[in-house]
Amino acid sequence: MYFRRVGGVGLLLAMANSLSGIIWGANSVMLSIYMLSIGMSPAFIGLVLGTFSLMGALGSLIVGYLADFMDRVKLFILLSLISGSLILLMITGVPIIVSIAYLLIALFNRYVVLTAIVGEYAKQEDISDELFSLSSTFNVAFSVVGSLLAVLPGYLGRFGYDLVFLAEAASLYLTIPMVLRAVKYLDKSILNVKIERLSLRDLGRLRSSWLLKRLIPEAIIGLGAGIIIPLFSLWFYLKFHVDLASLSLVYAISNATLALGTLMAPIISRAFRSRVISVVSLEGLATVVLAVMPSIYNLPILLTLFIIRNTLMNMANPLLTSLINELAPREERGRVFGIWNMLSSIPRAVGPGLGGYLMDIGYLDLPLYLTSMLYATAVVLFYILLRDVERRMGVVYTPRFPSCLRL
């Protein structure tokens, strides 16, 4: 069983790593519409969302390096306090303040630090698949809560937005005591893997450089995702005039389905005996569904396809995270996760501006077609570059299934 394998400490770390899913769930529904309501144009919204990804890329590199250089717990606490305070500034409703605060949240990227801590524990306990899948499941479960919270502005107007931002800030602050409790039971080597000096020149000498080069398709995925994913709710709103309350319900159902899907991810991976094949299969199917969506005008069918696509695409995430965690040396794990995040974030910064512009001039479906082509290219490249990695690095699966499935 999942909970038995990860243990109490792993469960607490997984929850801490996932509580901010509330932010993802709420913002994926309401953020672009909130920005529209305070006077920002679709093109400018796309620009801000794109710059957010660029700032996230920079933050991932800086924080990833710091996570291998200084006390990870203290760094996590500091970044959590800063990020929560920046979310509270979103309540002002002033476009320039909202934009700057939102961008700075990306710069102070706390996710990289906690992922490094979770990764060290998962590697030490040999539970990478289980722990990252459970973390993803919790993340999605909390995102359901966020999606449901996003219904508040539909009933309470501006006050509803304020309540959602308060909940988002609280989700960041609450992770601090959770992490502090978990680390009491962890080996100090998990919390601190200090490199001797801080120099960007060391990035070129990483033992994991061969792995990072093979993760280049993530940049293509990032570009495709940036074009439509942050603007999906806006696409439904502009093309089908779906109101915020209905969108909130759809996103909640989608995220609840994804929560169940991510629990199945390790089972799929072990059935294929390959994380790479599993990732390729899931992302490939998701790409086919995305390519079909613009041609569907029956709204219930379209929303069903949206849920299926979201589930398939994101089921691959914990498996890829697990693969990277298994392959990266412990003293480089913070930097590897940071650079991996950066690979996706930089091109993702370009996407929303392009997607927002195309929607602004009336080409509502074109972002979906562009993303489908980019995803297809990335999936093929991912398979070509990583198909033999598991065998050569000795991380091929043995047939081991959760005890709940033994007959």
Q: Which residue has the tokens 């899907």?
A: 261
**What was the pLDDT predicted at 401?**
36
Percentage with pLDDT > 90 across the chain: 26
**What was the pLDDT predicted at 33?**
85
Residue 51's CB is within 10 A of a number of other CB atoms, namely 18
Backbone angles phi and psi of 114, in degrees to 5: -70, -35
Q: Do the Cβ atoms of 400 and 5 come closer than 8 Å?
A: no
Model pTM?
A: 0.68
Residue 132's CB is within 10 A of a number of other CB atoms, namely 28
Is a pLDDT exceeding 60 seen at residue 211? yes
**What was the pLDDT predicted at 285?**
95
CA 168 to CA 165: how far, in whole Å? 5
pLDDT in tens, 249-273: 888 788 778 777 777 887 888 888 8
Which of 363 and 389 is assigned the larger pLDDT? 363
Mean pLDDT of 269-294: 91
400 band by pLDDT with thresholds 50, 70 and 90: very low
Q: Do the Cβ atoms of 241 and 299 come closer than 8 Å?
A: no
The number of CA neighbours under 13 Å toward the Cβ of 219 is 11
**For residue 172, which of 110, 112, 118 has the smallest C-alpha distance?**
110
Structure-token pair, residue 335: 């930097």
Is a pLDDT exceeding 60 seen at residue 298? yes
**What was the pLDDT predicted at 4?**
67
**What was the pLDDT predicted at 251?**
80
Structure-token pair, residue 400: 């081991």
**What was the pLDDT predicted at 319?**
86
**What was the pLDDT predicted at 187?**
66
Which of 192 and 58 is assigned the larger pLDDT? 58
CA 343 to CA 373: how far, in whole Å? 19
Q: Which residue has the tokens 């047939």?
A: 399
**What was the pLDDT predicted at 406?**
28
**What was the pLDDT predicted at 402?**
36
CA 6 to CA 130: how far, in whole Å? 7
CA 161 to CA 26: how far, in whole Å? 10
Mean pLDDT of 74-87: 92
pLDDT in tens, 226-243: 898 878 888 888 888 888
Question: 177-198 b/e with 16+ CB inside 10 Å = b?
Answer: eebeebbeebeeebbbbeeeee
Least confident of 111-120, 321-330, 392-401: 392-401
3-class secondary structure, 117: helix
Q: Do the Cβ atoms of 404 and 1 come closer than 8 Å?
A: yes
Which of 73 and 335 is assigned the larger pLDDT? 73
**What was the pLDDT predicted at 291?**
95
Is a pLDDT exceeding 80 seen at residue 191? no
Mean pLDDT of 393-401: 54
Is a pLDDT exceeding 50 seen at residue 407? no
Q: Do the Cβ atoms of 397 and 269 come closer than 8 Å?
A: yes
**What was the pLDDT predicted at 395?**
66
Close Cβ partners of 316 (under 8 Å, ≥ 6 residues apart): 265, 278, 279, 282, 283, 286
CA 19 to CA 136: how far, in whole Å? 10
Calculate the average pLDDT of the chain: 82
Burial degree of 238 (CB within 10 A; 0-12, 13-18, 19+): middle
3-class secondary structure, 194: coil
Least confident of 210-219, 227-236, 350-359, 391-400: 391-400
Residue 2's CB is within 10 A of a number of other CB atoms, namely 19
Is a pLDDT exceeding 50 seen at residue 139? yes
Is a pLDDT exceeding 90 seen at residue 97? yes
Q: Which residue has the tokens 């298994």?
A: 326
Mean pLDDT of 191-211: 60
CA 157 to CA 12: how far, in whole Å? 35
98 band by pLDDT with thresholds 50, 70 and 90: very high
Percentage with pLDDT > 70 across the chain: 89
Mean pLDDT of 113-132: 77
The number of CA neighbours under 13 Å toward the Cβ of 14 is 26
Q: Do the Cβ atoms of 10 and 127 come closer than 8 Å?
A: yes
Is a pLDDT exceeding 70 seen at residue 192? no
CA 311 to CA 246: how far, in whole Å? 19
pLDDT in tens, 20-49: 889 988 888 888 889 989 988 888 888 888
